Structure 1
Amino acid sequence: MAEINDLMAFVSVVQAGGFRDAARAGDISASGLSAAVRRLETKLGVRLLNRTTRSVAPTEAGQRLIERLAPALTEMEAALDVLNGFRDQPAGTLRLNVPAGVSRTVLPPIVIGFMQRYPDIRMEIVVEDSFVDVLSAGCDAGIRYDERLEQDMIAVPLGPRVERFATAAAPAYLDARGRPQHPRDLLAHDCLRGRFASGAMPLWEFERDGEVVRVDPSGPLVVSPGGAFDLKIHAAVSGLGVIHLYEELLRPHLDSGALEPILESWCQDFSGPFLYYPGRRHLPAPLRAFVDFVKAATPA
């Protein structure tokens, strides 16, 4: 049992990417995890982790061990999860990987309702805009839009089925610089852009009456998604330029008049997000409960 505990400690550190994050997730001290990994390395006679002051990553031997352990750990989790069938309420941990926009606009009412319904389930939300392998990331499921879903995954609609982009700027900015009448007019404006972690800077896409226009405007500010959404929105409200973002993120400022919508007839609708997870026969009880909750809460 001691060896199993040390193996589980090693796996948790690798999945979390460090001792501190693993300690927070597992309610155990970082020093306890470090001691467990050292014991395991001593017993096996090989180094399993490369440690620096900034990061922890598996060695080649550690990666091989993780790959061989993964199926066994999945079976162990499934075996323990069978006991959930004897509970009045499912219990355990549900780990979701979600993009920043969804975490701010779609997920809050769903998570609150779910946790009120299932108080014995603990949720861990990892906010990440790049596409990831949810299993390799140590998550049970992910949320993404349909163009970014991985093949061979089960996808369940979640939240509003139609969302919309909005393009807007502060009234004072538009009074000074003019109001664009066509998407190509944006090339003469200061535009507030976003860049993915991969380095890609998505074009701004518009559509009207079957005509699709993609523009690559420039401007004074480029931010990464996530928490930087707030910075970009604040910059737009302050009159620094034009913003093109999910309408729900801009809604409070559009309603207050701090931002004025432009090119409304060109702004695209797009399908809402999906909860996706591996199509395996046995779902952990927390994930099964969440899937059922989402299906019941999402409009057809």
Structure 2
Amino acid sequence: MTIAPNIKDLTAFVAVIEAGGFRDAARAIGSSPSAVSEAVRRLETRTGVRLLHRTTRSVAATEAGTRLLSQLKPALDGLEAALDVVNQFRDKPFGKLKLNVPVVAARLILPRILPAFLSMYPEIELEVVADDSFVDLLSAGCDAGIRYGESLQQDMIAVPIGPREQRMALGASPAYLARHGRPEHPDDLVRHACLRHRFSSGAIAEWLFERDGKTVRIEPQGPLIVRTGSSAELSVDVALAGNGIVQLFDDWLRPHFESGALEPVLEPWWLRFPGPYLYYPGRRYLPAPLRAFVDFVKAECERA
């Protein structure tokens, strides 16, 4: 008699297909690659059919695996929705919520929102993954994310979160400006030590400026390049030490402007741009923790 596979094995199989590999699937469902591999092996043994093509570099579904996935994914989603119904009978929703956000959002946006949210919903376990690369939410095992408009996927629902306008600021220490002079126009930056950032794609960020409808693009040069996001604070430290001019979000540099450790540079030229969005897959069913967070963010936006 064939024994029906358990839910964990089925979930592991779906995760491997969506993530494209055992390691990423394990990360998405909070398991280990070996445990995920064993779960898929059990599923293949119980069904008597090979479900995955495995090579040293990739994993892909067989025809049988593809057909199983097409039937299985809606069933698992329906099961999750059915189990979540009990949340409606609780005073406060419970469960896990996983967000994928850029480092700047973890530093500047979420600290203004999460304390009140976590106090209101103490039974929600929130996990925040700060990642500046563009990831697929579902394959990364995330419920929602924060991104700016130009990087949103078209099939996602987007809700404004945080300030609706932000600026990119330039700052330098008083000692640096005393030694090298103060730029009066963005073009003057070619003669200055600019502390640069490299995107996860490998490209070095250009510096954009705007004033009276005129846009100026500068390819900065200087003694330091750091990766955007988690390493950005290093460029601030180097600017504070008097080694160059740094460009970052206004809110990030604002405390140093207020203390006098950095001085604003070219402020009339600072680029303004729309604030970020909370985004999530456009589907009828939303898990209770995500639904609570979306409603909370919408209410915060209305009060702002």
Mark yes or no: TM-score above 0.5: yes
Aligned to 2:185: 182
Q: CA RMSD in A?
A: 2.8
Residue 281 of structure 1 and its aligned partner are, at CA, apart by: 2.1
Query: C-alpha offsets along residues 167-196 of structure 1, whole Å, 9 cap, x if unaligned?
Result: 011221111111100001111111111121
Aligned-residue offset at 1:106: 0.7
**Whole-angstrom CA distance in 2 between matches of 1:23 and 1:128:** 14
Q: Which residue of 1 aligns with 2:255?
A: 252
| Corresponding residue for residue 85 of structure 2 | 82
Letter of the structure 2 residue corresponding to residue 258 of structure 1: A
Q: Does 1:200 align with 2:203?
A: yes
CA separation of 1:148 and 1:35: change in aligned 2, threshold 3 A: closer
> Which sits farther off after the overlay, 237-246 or 146-155?
146-155
Query: What are the superposed Cα offsets for residues 14-64 of structure 1, whole Å, 9 maximum, x if unpaired?
Result: 7676569947964x6776545434423444453748597xxx963444984
Change (3 A) 1:126 1:67: farther
User: What is the alpha-carbon distance in structure 1 between the residues aligned to residue 270 and residue 104 of structure 2?
Assistant: 18
Does residue 98 (structure 1) correspond to residue 101 (structure 2)? The answer is: yes
Q: Does structure 1 conserve the Cα–Cα contact (< 8 Å) formed by 2:22 and 2:36?
A: no
CA distance in 2, matches of 1:99, 1:33: 28
Partner of 1:288: 291
Out of 39, 46, 52, the residue aligned to residue 50 of structure 2 is: 46
Which residue matches 1:58?
Answer: 59
Structure 1 residue aligned with 2:160: 157
SS of 2:138's equivalent in the other structure is coil
* Number of the residue aligned with 1:211: 214
Alpha-carbon contact 1:14-1:57 (below 8 Å) kept? no
Report the Cα distance in structure 2 between the residues aligned to 1:153 and 1:20, rounded to whole angstroms: 22
Measured in 1, the distance between the counterparts of 2:29 and 2:111 equals: 21
The CA deviation at 1:236 is: 1.4
Native 8 Å contact 1:168 1:262 kept in 2 = yes
Consecutive unaligned residues of structure 2, counting only runs of 5 or more, are none
Shift of 1:81: 1.7
Q: Secondary structure in 1 aligned to 2:158?
A: strand
Secondary structure of the 1:192 match is strand
Residues 28, 142 of structure 2: 8 Å contact kept:
no
Q: Give the Cα separation in 1 of the matches to 2:149 and 2:28.
A: 32
Residue matched to 1:36: 39
Q: In structure 1, how many angstroms separate the alpha carbons of the residues matched to 2:55 and 2:124?
A: 33
The answer (yes or no) to whether the contact 1:91–1:286 under 8 Å persists in 2 is yes
Q: Quick one: structure 1 residues 90 and 240, their matched pair in 2 at CA, closer, same or farther if it must change by over 3 Å? A: same
1:141, 1:276 within 8 Å by CA — same for their partners in 2? yes
Contact kept in structure 1, 2:5 and 2:43, CA below 8 Å? no
Q: What secondary structure does 1:287 align onto?
A: helix
- Look up the match of 1:228: 231
Shift of 1:276: 1.4
Residues 198 and 24 of structure 1: CA distance in aligned 2, closer, same or farther (over 3 Å): closer
CA distance in 1, matches of 2:210, 2:81: 47
Instruction: Please give the residue correspondences for 1:5-16 in structure 2 after superposition, counting only pairs within 5 Å.
Output: 5-12=8-15
Structure 1: 5+ residue stretches without partners: none
- What is the distance in 1 between the residues matched to 2:192 and 2:114? 39
| Mapped partners of 1:167, 1:147: distance in 2 | 23
The more displaced of 68-77 and 178-187 is 68-77
Could you say which residue in structure 2 is the equivalent of 1:169?
Answer: 172
Give the counterpart letter for 2:232 in structure 1. F
Aligned length: 296
Residue deviations 1:150-175 (CA, integer Å, cap 9, x gap): 22422211112222111011221111
> What TM-score, normalized by structure 2, do the two folds share?
0.85
- The separation in 2 between residues aligned to 1:15 and 1:199, in whole angstroms, is 26
Q: Does 1:127 align with 2:130?
A: yes
Q: Give the percent of matched residue pairs that are identical in Structure 1 and Structure 2.
A: 55
In the alignment, the residues of structure 2 paired with residue 86 and residue 236 of structure 1 have an alpha-carbon distance, to the nearest angstrom, of 54
What one-letter code is carried by the residue in structure 2 that aligns with 1:202?
A
Residue 273 (structure 1) aligns with: 276
Q: Contact between 1:97 and 1:141, CA under 8 Å: does it hold in 2?
A: yes
Q: How has the CA–CA distance of structure 1 residues 150 and 21 changed in structure 2, closer, same or farther, with 3 Å as cutoff? A: closer
Q: TM-score, normalised by structure 1?
A: 0.86
